[in-house]
Each structure stands twice: as C-alpha cells, then as structure tokens.
Structure 1
Amino acid sequence: MAFDDPGRRVVEGTDPDVFAAIIEPEVGAAVWTRPSPIQDREFPAWARPAKDEFTALPPWLSADMIVLRDQLTHLGLGHAWRFTLETVTTRACPRFHQDALKLRLITAYRGPGVELATADDPDTVLRIPTGSAVLLKGSRWPGVPKLLHRSPPARRSRPRWLLVMDLVD
C-alpha cells in the first residue's frame, strides 16, 4: 500500500502487533497487512442473503475472529467487542466519514477493503487490501486525528464479505 502520510496517521505492518500503535495520539488507523484467511472457494451458505438464518461458521472464520478478538483485547482498551458479519451488495457508506464510536476493526474477506483518506486531502485514497484488518479510531476517541473511511463499490454479482468489530464501552 502506498499512502503519503507525513503525519503518521496510518501505521501498517505484517504482524498483528501493529494494532498497538493505535494508542499513539497521532495514529488514526493501524493496518495488519495479511492475505485473506478465507479457505473456501465457494460463497459459503452463511454469507448468502437469506431469511435471517445463519448456519455454523466455517472453522477458518471462527479461528480468525478469535485471533482478531484476542489481539484487540490484548491492547487493554476494552474486553467487550461487538461482532457483525455482513454480505454487502451495494456501496453501504459512499461518503468519507468517521464513525461515532471509539474503535472499529474492519476486515473484507472477499471484495475490496475499506478506503481511507484524510479530511484535508480526500482525493488521496488508501485502499486496504482484501484480508487485511484495519483498526480505526472513531470520533469518540479523545483527541482523534481526522482520518476518514468509506466503503468501496460492491455489486450483487461481486458481493463483499465483511467482519466489523466495534469496541463496546
């Protein structure tokens, strides 16, 4: 990923320990750059839009959710995280924004990852790769730097599979 970020608002690393950088005042996002952990080639039944029914999660997904939760809990910023799994077929959040919470982790298991930009330069966009996990400060984090995000385009024929984890405070 290439992003001109002289203020060090986005920190990237290939190890999950990169999430620890989020406590730094100038950091707005920490990105764990990794390949997608998805192991199924087919669109799994749990991710297909259905009648509010979910089947058992695939083992790779359960394992990844546990790894991410453990990494975030290890930071000591909170122990309660709300998990949301979504199949997205439209551009859910087309405008750059900052969420009204303290911390949010977003991982796209299929389809493009979230897009980041600074408030002072919304034309320079950092696209998070599929599989990478980005931990974002929201507007409820004290003294948060203005780092914004939005959803990339999605289509019914090419849906995105998302895991979103919000710190519950």
Structure 2
Amino acid sequence: MMNKKNLNIASEWRHEGYMFRHMSQDKQPTVLSDIYKEEINIAIWRREKQFSVKEFLALNPTFQKEMILTPQDALSRISESFDNNMTEVSEDIALLVDMFCYLFELKQVGMRLKVLDRAMCPKFHVDKVPCRLVTTYQGMATEWLPHEVVDQTKLGWGCNGLPDSESGLYQSEIDIQQLDCGDVALIKGTLWEGNENAGLVHRSPGLIANEKRLILTLDFM
C-alpha cells in the first residue's frame, strides 16, 4: 500500500507525464519478452522447478566461474566446469544462454555463477547495464522494490550513510518483493535506452548462518 508521501509523488509524476515502471510475470517463458515494453523494468518467469545442488555446494563451498559463452559452446564449457557433474544445472544454464542471446540478438554473453554464504550486494541499488538475467539455483533469491515506492534520491550516496531501512529509500518492509528460488528474472538497468532513471532497485538477500546460495547472472557482451 502506498503511503501519503508516495501518493503525492505519484500524483506529481503523472502530472508531468512520468511513467512508472512495473513488473510482468507469468509461468510461461514468453513473459521475458515483456522486458521490451517501456513500462516494464522486471520480467519474471515463475518456475516451479527445484534443482538438486546441495551436495555440490557442500563439496564446493567457494565455487565460482566467470565465462564468455555462446549458445553453441555453453553446454560443453559449463559441463566441463562442473567436471561433468550437475547435468541438470548445466543444461538449464545452456538453455538460458540460448534464450538470452535469442531475445537480445547477441552472439555471446557474460556468465557469472557463484556460491555465496553472505549477501553479495546487501544494499539496494540499480545495475549500470542494459539488462541482466538473474536466477538462483539454491537459497534465498533476489529482493527488489516496486518503482512507485522508491525515493530515487536516497540511492547510493543519497542515503547519507544510513541503512536502507532508515534512509527513506522505501517506507515499509512490506514494500520489499522477492523472487523465488528457480525463478528467472530479466532486470532492466540504467543503460537501457530511455530507462536512465528507472532501473530496477534490488539487492542480494540476507542469508542465515551456514546457508549457501548458488546464483547465476547473464550480461550483455
């Protein structure tokens, strides 16, 4: 629910012709193409899919890989990085690389796959990229804020050193949204043409003690 302050801001922005950005979500992967709509800054493919990675995380607690992949070599190179284990995850990553390249007409992508035991980016922020694909194979998934509840002046240095919960960036903890483990999200950043001040505000989730998280990101190259 929007408070009085946010309602006033919304009224002013609508009067000035400002367009709020919104979420698009569906259980079908075709929803990801909605990221091309000007008013959408996050498109979410809601997947009821679980991956068996706990044993791998236990044996490889510091695993991380960064590679430039093409749709043609993704499966073989990812499988090799897993020593030909984790077949299900390797095949899924290769599928997402292929989808990402097809959707954005790219020949290659930058892939990052990391095991984390703490929040990688604990403060809310926007990405200085055109668009990023994010999915979590194990653990808590990415948190984000709806565009209309964010006070953009409180991002970065604007927080004056205060925690996000005290800076005025958002008004209530119930404003915070979260992806589910397994969901695939396209997150629009500030380098997307026409989206300079409307990148999705998001952060890494806090993790409980001894919890491991396996996260994949794909970026333009």
- Normalised TM-score (structure 2): 0.66
Residue 64 of structure 2 contacts residue 112 of structure 2 at CA under 8 Å; is this kept in 1? no
Rounded to whole Å, the distance in 2 between the matches of 1:140 and 1:109 is 27
Larger radius of gyration: 2
Higher helix share: 2
Q: Deviations over 1:40-86 (max 9, x none)?
A: 4524467421699x542511111101111122222134232111111
Please tell me whether the aligned partners of residues 47 and 86 of structure 1 are also in contact (alpha carbons under 8 angstroms): no
| Pair 1:85-2:85 in alignment | no
Aligned equivalent of 1:147? 200
Q: Percent identity?
A: 26
Query: 1:45, 1:55 within 8 Å by CA — same for their partners in 2?
Result: no
For structure 2, the residue ranges without an aligned partner over 5 or more in a row are 1-18, 66-80, 150-169
5+ long unaligned stretches in structure 1: 1-5
Residue 76 of structure 1, aligned match among 104, 115, 120 = 104
Counting only pairs closer than 5 Å after superposition, residues 5-154 of structure 1 correspond to structure 2 as 7=20, 9-44=22-57, 47-49=60-62, 55-56=82-83, 57-121=85-149, 122=170, 123=172, 124-144=175-195, 145-154=198-207
C-alpha distance in 1 between matches for 2:129 and 2:190: 6
Relative to the length of structure 1, the TM-score reads: 0.84
Residues paired across the two proteins, number: 162
Higher strand share: 1
Distance 1:37 1:47, change over 3 A: farther
